[in-house]
Amino acid sequence: MSQPVSLLFGVHAHQPVGNFPSVLIDAHLRCYKPFLQVLYRYPEFRFAVHFSGWLLDYLLLHYPEDMALLREMVARNQVELFGAGDTEPVLAVIPNRDRIGQIETFSTKLAEKLGQRPQGAWLTERVWESTVVPALTDCGIRYVIVDDYHFLCAGKTAAELNGFFTTEEDSRKLDLFPISESLRYRIPFAPADETVAYLESLADLHPSHARTASIYFDDIEKFGIWPETYQWVYEKGWLEQFIQKVLASPKIRTQHYSEYHASEKTRGIVYLPTVSYIEMNEWSLPAPSANAYSDLIQQAKEQGWFEHKKAHLRGGIWKNFFSRYPESNWMHKRMLSLSARLAALPQSLHKPLMLQKLYESQANDAYWHGLFGGLYLPHLRRAVYHALVELEAMLDACSPRPPYFTEDTDLDGIEETYCQNGLLQTVVKRDPYASICELDAYALGHNFGDTLRNQTEHYYRKIQSGGEDSSAHSGDGIASAHDRVSYKHDISAADIVADDHPRSLFVDRLDGLFVHYRNLEPVLENQHYESSNTAHPIRKYITLHDHTLQVMYRFDVKMQSLFCTEINLAMPSCDGMGGRYIHQGHVPCGFGQCLQLKDLIEITLEDDTLGGSIVLKTSASVSFQAQPHFSVSQSESGFEKIMQATTLLLEWPVTAQELIITLEIRRHSALST
């Protein structure tokens, strides 16, 4: 007679560093609170949980009564806590010293706050690279969970994936549990009785001497936050029905991962390839390749061989996001540079806040984009840059940098020139545009160059084909977000046109054509660039004076031409209520509207979220146009338009030999007290 199947049930709860308070409040109300309350009523239902560090801190501070329930469930041995990096980094893309620091920080937090030090760890986005093994094992982690897809890619069969396996790297041993894709797509979307019947069917598949493990570990947000799930899971009682049926079944036994791990033996050695979950194969590829990959998957499904051979249809890896998105790559390489500076700093000069800011800058969400991920969300990128800029200021105070230097930070073969005076910093990309890709204000902890250019995305095909709003149900259950096509906003063809230039500051045009520059040697701290068109020579000088950035243009020959410069500014309020233009004492509109002014000399961009403003001045009157820059992204809620920056266009006829534009960055006095 076969033994009961061991249900290893785990959930992962995460919110990005810097997410809106309203999102956190809603997530707690519709998911975290009701989930814990339901599970608390069933002490015999054992499960595992991973709350990411930043979210756990938030919940402990704002909802201590719910965390008291969790602490009690840990104490009565109902809950097993899982570790990870504290700010939910992708461990494979941060230095090993930071992997160890992140894991240790979070494990210590769990022990101190909830009374249990973890033996298992959650891998962010299930991104597996063997290089993470030493850090995990050195921190006392004995096992991690990854998708069964990872094992299929290593040549294992689905029938073998009923327990844990062992891998090793650099003489360190780590055990690996394969998460069941079948369970991941059933829970909580299929009816409870069907899911329990599936679990019971597993008890008869394997011999009695080896206890079968049915392994589930997935996002807790599927239990209340995904579309329709709150009504399905709580109001219609799916979660309670599932728990009751599991506990009533003689063929199912809930166990902790630690219990199963201690009582069973490894199924053998395995070496997994670099891989994440299967959907990431498509998301991490550039649009043309992603479309080709998607077509192959669809063809395989239609011909009926996908499930048997999907491991051999592999797309991209998570690190492809750095090569896909220059903005992501730039953030990542800036983070690595500051991590190296902090590591080189004498220990006596280290401050706890430095490490905290470094770890915040490593939070994964702002670095990638798929159905989830937050590269397209300005407030998540802003949180990363806020941490980076604050850390850089602290490092500069301990170990000053030169005011001017050049390096290829992002490893793209094009150098960048840094100029900083302790108050502001400009980074100029030394490509033909000679534009500013980063403009940091240290007092505000903000990068005004944190914008995102439009590029073609693989999901644009669904928009272009006129894909209709769909939330088709599967049988008697509900549809997963992966299967939906929905729209939060109306999307037009013009909204998905790729940009033909970087969305940076001071991108110049002459009579509608981009001006291309070549670098000249710096004079003191001036950055001096000269146009490559000798018939219309233009010189461009970029300098800093206290809190003011100055860009000066000199025209050596009188021209019957129109010169235009484009300034893309990342203003935190975006199209919200807190951002506005102020012109001649009046507020003509907010950043989310278009604005045209003639003969402009001065205008202020005031931002409540920023707690500061930018005063733009010109040495001669210009024609001024401002408009919001939107991008189109996808999320579990549907296709949406998100404002990335306000785009300022300054145009003037070349009648004088010189024009000076200044951006003075001011901090509101309320913040300086």
- For residue 127, what are the contacts with CB-CB under 8 A and spacing of at least 6? 90, 91, 92, 276, 280, 318
Contact 410, 326 (CB under 8 A): yes
Backbone angles phi, psi at 415, to 5 degrees: -75, 155
Rg (CA), the chain: 27
Least Cα distance to 529 among 507, 546, 504, 511 occurs for 507
Q: Identify whether the C-beta of residue 443 lies closer than 8 Å to the C-beta of residue 423.
A: yes
Q: Which of 104, 219, 259, 396 is catalytic?
A: 219
Maximum separation of any 2 CA atoms in the chain, in Å: 95
Which residues, in sequence order, are CB contacts of 241 under 8 Å at separation 6+? 192, 193
Backbone angles phi, psi at 15, to 5 degrees: -135, 140
Q: Is 525 a catalytic residue?
A: no
Asked if residues 203 and 4 have their Cβ atoms less than 8 Å apart, the reply is yes
Determine which helix (DSSP H) or strand (DSSP E) holds 510, and give its type and residue range: strand 505-510
Checking DSSP bridges between strand 513-514 and strand 505-510, what pairing results, if any?
A: antiparallel
Of 66, 125, 410, 416, the catalytic one is 125
Q: Classify the phi-psi angles of 224: left when phi > 0, otherwise alpha if psi is within -120 to 50, otherwise beta.
A: left
CB 92 within 8 A of CB 319: yes
Cβ count within 10 A of residue 430: 17
Between CA 199 and CA 559 the distance in angstroms is 78
3-state secondary structure of 539: strand
* Closest of 428, 392, 441 to residue 607, by C-alpha: 441
Contacts 24+ apart (CB under 8 A), 332-340: 332/93, 332/367, 333/409, 333/410, 333/411, 334/388, 334/409, 335/94, 335/361, 335/362, 335/384, 335/388, 336/94, 336/95, 337/409, 338/388, 338/391, 338/392, 338/395, 339/94, 339/95, 339/97, 339/98, 340/95
Q: Is 608 a catalytic residue?
A: no
Q: Of 507, 618, 521, 658, which Cα lies nearest the Cα of 530?
A: 521
Place of tokens 């545009």: 433
The CA-based dihedral angle spanning residues 127, 129, 135, 138, taken in that order and rounded to the nearest 10 degrees:
110
**Main-chain dihedrals φ then ψ at residue 553, nearest 5 degrees:** -115, 135
Between CA 103 and CA 131 the distance in angstroms is: 15
DSSP 285-316: S-HHHHHHHHHHHHHHHHHT-HHHHGGGS---
- Both tokens of 332, joined, read 């990542």
Q: How many helices (H) and strands (E) does the chain have?
A: 21, 26
Instruction: Tell whether omega for the bond before 188 is within 30 degrees of 0, i.e. cis.
Output: yes
Residues with catalytic function: 125, 219
